[in-house]
Chains A and B, each alone.
Chain A
Amino acid sequence: MTRRLILVAELVALPFLLVTVWWFSSAGSSSVFFPPLQTILAALVDWFPEGVTRDVVPSVVNLLAGYAIAVTAGVSAGMVLGRVRALEDAFSPIIQFMRSIPPAALLPFFILAMGPTSTMRISVIAVGAVWPTLLSTIDGARGIEPALLDVTKIYKTSRLRRIFKVLLPAASPLILAGMKTSLAFAIILVVVSEMLASTAGIGYFIISSQQYFNLPDLWAGTIVMGLLGYLLSELFFFVERRLLAWKGEI
């Protein structure tokens, strides 16, 4: 009961308090950089609804598509590399090098190679966000309890069942930890990818507001991006808690 109360306080009361403080402390602000919250919210309302279809939808679509590709590729490659020692040894140096490149540094090349398309943005997100999931999955797959593999051998577990009922669940705590970092990468990359060579998206809205020195719009875009990120990570925690319910302590 008290835990639930604390949770409600955290989720509702604290943000509400902060917004209220922001509202009143910024009310009479004449600063160009920190306009009153009221002005920002008015800009936000102005942006709706066509801003949602023009900017928010493409951003969310690119983000989810890029993230889905990153996760699918990272988990499948990671499971194979983590289970086959020779492959991991062969690929490990390349992987270590690739993941050391800041993903945003890839953007100029992708723009040249693929043009200012959403395929390009999805590719940047996928290539930039794949590494944490890949590396973490390799660790997870490598650490699978050998006794469980013996069990699948003794009981002649079919290949698909072994993958989906034994190997993936066994690696899932680390896979999910990697996916969480990949999600953060993807959220950064969707904004960055829309700040260059773009005509739509939340990132574009923020950068064009900056170019027109439209601070209320700039803040409005930033708030929307923050809310989107918050929503996605909450959703992630929700799914993770369900998937790892068997572990108990989280």
Chain B
Amino acid sequence: MTSFTTESSIMDTVQEAAPSSPALEVSRLAKSYGKREAAKQVLADITVSVARGEFVCVVGPSGAGKTTLLRCLSGLLEPTTGEVLVNGHAVDGPPDELAVVFQDYSRSLLPWMKVAANVEFPLLEKKMSKAERKALVGQMLEAVGLTQHAGKYPRELSGGMQQRVAIARALAYRPTILLMDEPFASLDAQTRAELEDVVLQLRDDFGVTIVFVTHDIDEAVYLGDRVVVLSGTPATVSEIVEVCFPTPRDQVTTKALPEFGAIRGEVLTRIRDAKQQY
């Protein structure tokens, strides 16, 4: 199917949905890999819903099924049972209004295209003039601080810069929902903190709903409005922790709040409990 997504079609989809419907609704989702005897169940009975503009972090041990869950949300993978609704519509293949920043970001960039062309790539399917595309690409590169590097190939950039290209590309697509799979896992603390704030800023600027997978509990508590703890084999939602710090958040003051330590401790305990259960 060749579909030319336009700005207006994105808006239509959003308006069609009942205004009260959450951005993402996952109900009783289960996923197994393989068939019959060889089947291996990874996710079991996941039910969670994400409000518009909400920032939800998903944490869980390696191999828990976080990537699998995200692939089901994005329509790249069909759930074995259960359902995913995006803006009130059942997901059957990747929805128009959704973008993904993949876990192996360096492999998800097109190595034969320069940075600007990579960011422009998803826009080629939209009804935009060349000038509009250029302007949007410029704006996104500016937002992630890569204006200087627009003319370089991805291989000429550091890991952190490549990651920013992947983020700029996802945002240039103007999604209403952004899924991010351990986007900062391989970055140094400094770059990571910087990009965390970039993402928070972008959420405020564009009102995007974000589902953010991470290993790092501090990161989850710092970024999220809620933290979903995924654990067990097959994995289930073992806990949803509300995070209620004031916005805008700040790397220094937010992390120094006494509540920060409290919530962080709570999430840690949940993960440990969940581990002992299995």
Q: Is chain B a partner of chain A in the same complex? A: yes
Residue of A nearest to B5 (CB): A156
B110 near A248 (CB under 8 angstroms)? no
With known contacts A155-B173, A156-B96, A150–B108 Cβ distance under 8 A: yes
Q: Which residues of A contact B113 (CB under 8 A)?
A: 165, 246
Q: Which residues of A contact B121 (CB under 8 A)?
A: 151, 155, 157, 165
Q: Which residues of A contact B156 (CB under 8 A)?
A: 248
- The answer, yes or no, to whether B100 is at the interface (CB within 8 Å) is yes
With known contacts A155-B173, A169-B110, A150–B153 Cβ distance under 8 A: no
- The answer, yes or no, to whether A147 is at the interface (CB within 8 Å) is yes
Q: In the complex, how many residue pairs between chain A and chain B have their CB atoms under 8 Å apart?
A: 67
Q: Is the interface of A mostly helix, strand, loop or mixed?
A: helix
Contact with B along A137-174 (1 / 0, CB 8 A): 00000000101101101111111010001100110100
B2 near A150 (CB under 8 angstroms)? no
- The answer, yes or no, to whether B3 is at the interface (CB within 8 Å) is yes
B76 near A150 (CB under 8 angstroms)? yes
Residue of A nearest to B106 (CB): A147
A174 to chain B, nearest CB (A): 14
B153 near A156 (CB under 8 angstroms)? no
B2 near A159 (CB under 8 angstroms)? yes
Q: What CA separation (Å) do A154 and B93 show in the bound complex?
A: 9
With known contacts A153-B76, A248-B153, A248-B155, A158–B125 Cβ distance under 8 A: yes
B110 near A147 (CB under 8 angstroms)? no
With known contacts A150-B102, A156-B96, A246–B112 Cβ distance under 8 A: yes
B153 near A157 (CB under 8 angstroms)? no
- The answer, yes or no, to whether B240 is at the interface (CB within 8 Å) is no
A154 near B2 (CB under 8 angstroms)? no
Q: What CA separation (Å) do A160 and B124 show in the bound complex?
A: 12
What are 9 A-B interface contacts by the 8 Å CB criterion? A147-B102, A148-B107, A148-B110, A151-B121, A154-B100, A154-B122, A165-B121, A166-B110, A248-B155
Chain A contact residues, CB within 8 Å of chain B: 145, 147-148, 150-151, 153-159, 161, 165-166, 169-170, 172, 246-248
